Every structure is written in structure tokens, then in C-alpha cells.
Amino acid sequence: MNGLRDLTESALRDIVPVHWRVPSRLNEAIRYSLDAGGKRLRPILALAAAESVSGEEEARQRALPFAAAIEMIHTYSLIHDDLPAMDNDDYRRGRPTNHKVFGEAMAILAGDGLLTHAFYVASLAAGKGVPAERVLAVVSELSRFAGLPGMVGGQADDMLGEQGITSMEELENIHLHKTSDLIACSLRAGGHAAEATPDQLAALELFGRNIGLAFQIQDDILDLIGDETKLGKPLNSDEKQGKVTYPYLIGLEESRERVRSLTNEAVRAIRQAGLQRTDLLTDIADVMMRRDH
């Protein structure tokens, strides 16, 4: 996983062509959030998916523009989610949020800029040997999974329903769109880079959907019983913010069981998909299930 992470970091370092004139304050705001040191889960999954389909390490390079684009979309969503009108968060990963440092207006523009530029970066895959039709498929899927029926829609549902989520079904529906959709999209994007078959794409998507949901439940669990130092935030913040969580709805033990069963389903899906290798993705699923931050 470290090799994939390093590759992602290097790709994210020069996403803006050097000859472009971009206002320096806007650039700083974007870099501040891109360099905040997330887990890089989505790009790592995109690269691992490409390598799993093709069996060749070279496939990583072809998937790299997609991986960077998805991390940019993830980052924009965090910047906008933290805004005062949205979740109104002052801190993320132990650092002041984007609007606390650069002001609300610049944070809105940094998010808009990252989202827009993600499509520029994704389109660069055509220059790395990915057929134009596949690049276009990824553009279309990115805009769907990150868009109105996906991440943006999930965020709207979350906000609209904040007071009244009472069932697992409602909660799961929100997380499926808010979190899992973009993760599922990462895996499909990696698959497209390695010219996966429709069946393989479907298996990768299912893997993504399941570990995306497991990831969210694990987050809820860690908020209750994690280590504050490792998490970089105080425990029980969900409860303080009145958030409805999995442990709140079904209890801690059943939440843990759900993480395990979702992870197992995810692994089963890709084992039956005729990939060249499955160890990369199963390792990532395993690390995610056991993570403590």
C-alpha cells in the first residue's frame, strides 16, 4: 500500500500545469487542503484496482490521472462540507479547516476549483494510453457518482434529514451515496484504466460499495472507542453533534459484526471476478477493517 500511496502523493504534487496563471492565494488554499495528509484511500483503491485487473504494475501509471482526480473531488467535498453553512467545522485532521485559514469565499472557490480541475486531470489519462472511450466513461461515471444521484445528493439528504433519521435503511442510504459512491467510482475508474470487462467493473463496484459502508461504520465505532491521539479529534464528537450513527441505532457489537460481514462480502465479490490478482485489494480491505484511526 505504501508504494501506491507514494505514487498518489507525487501525482497530487503537480496537478496544475506550470505555465498556468492561477491566483496564488487560490493555489495556496487548494494546496492547504490537498496536502492535509488524508489516508488517500480512494486513489490507492483506484491504482490497486487497475493493477488487479491487468496484473501488470504499469497499469498504475494509466490509472494515476483518475486516482488524482478522485482525491481532488474528495478534497473539495471536505472543504465545502466544513463551511459554516454546512457542518460548520473549525478543525479537520487536527488543523484549522480551509475557511478558518483562507476565509469562506476563498474556501468556496478552492472547492469549486478543485472539482472543476478534477475533470481536467482525469482527461489526461488519454495521454497515458487509456482509450478515449474509457476516459470518457470515467468522466461520465465520476460526474454521476460524485454528483446529483451520488455524493452531492447524499450530502443534501444528510442535511435535509439531520433531525429525523430513525431507521438503518435511511442511515445506510445516506452513507451509500455520501461515502460509498465515490469509493465505488474509484474502483471502477481503476478498472477502466486497465480495460476491465463489464462483469469485472460490476465486481469492483460492489467491492467498493461494501468497503465504503464498512469504512463509515468503522468511523462511527472509532468515534466511541478509539484513541483520541491517533484520531486527531476528541471522542464522542458524533454524540455531541447529535449525529445518528450505526452504534446508536444497532449497538456496538452489531456494528462490528456489520463491518466484518461487509468486508467479507466485498472480498467475495472480487474473488469471483476473474482478476489477475486479488491480494492488493483484499489486503486493503483487511487493513481498513482493522484500522484504529
Can you give the binding site for a second copy, defined by CB under 8 A? 16, 20-23, 25-27, 30, 76, 80, 83, 85-86, 103-106, 108-109, 111-113, 115-120, 123-124, 126, 131-133, 135-136, 139-140, 142-144, 146-149, 152-153, 155-157, 159-160
CB of 186 to a second copy, least distance (A): 16
95: enclosing H helix or E strand = strand 95-96
Burial 154-176 (b: 16+ CB within 10 A, else e): bbebbeeeeeebeeeeebbbbbb
On the 0-12 / 13-18 / 19+ scale of CB atoms within 10 A, 249 is middle
Q: How far apart are the first and last CA of the chain?
A: 16
From residue 265, give the alpha-carbon distance in Å to each of 46, 207, 211, 247. 19, 7, 9, 21
Report how far residue 183's alpha carbon sits from residue 167's, in angstroms, rounded to the nearest whole number: 23
Please, which residue, 25 or 290, has the CB nearer to a second copy?
A: 25
Residue with cell string 489519462: 125
Query: Nearest distance from residue 291's CB to a second copy, in Å?
Result: 29
Q: Shortest gap between Cβ of 130 and a second copy (angstroms)?
A: 10
Collapsed DSSP state (helix, strand, coil) of residue 235: coil
Question: Quick one: 44 or 121, whose CB is closer to a second copy?
Answer: 121
The answer to whether residues 26 and 113 touch, using CB atoms and an 8 Å cutoff, is: yes
- Report the largest interatomic distance among the alpha carbons of the chain, rounded to a whole angstrom: 54
Nearer to a second copy, 27 or 264 (CB): 27
Query: Which residue's CB is nearer to a second copy, number 144 or number 277?
Result: 144
Compute how many other C-beta atoms are within 10 angstroms of the C-beta atom of residue 44: 24
Which is nearer to a second copy, 105 or 164 (by Cβ)? 105
Residue number, 185 or 203, with CB nearest to a second copy? 185
Q: How far is the CB of 229 from a second copy (least distance, A)?
A: 32
Grid cell digits, residue 37: 495528509
Secondary structure (3-state) at 261 = helix
Question: Residue 79 CB, nearest distance to a second copy (Å)?
Answer: 11
Residue 129, number of CB atoms within 10 A of its CB:
11
CB of 225 to a second copy, least distance (A): 31
Residue 79 amino acid letter: I
Task: Let me know: does 247 contact 221? Beta carbons within 8 Å.
Answer: yes
**Closer CB to a second copy, 109 or 221, in the complex:** 109
Shortest reach from residue 85's CB to a second copy, in Å: 4
Nearer to a second copy by Cβ, of 144 and 268: the residue is: 144
CA distance 126 to 129: 6
Minimum CB separation of residue 89 from a second copy in Å reads 13
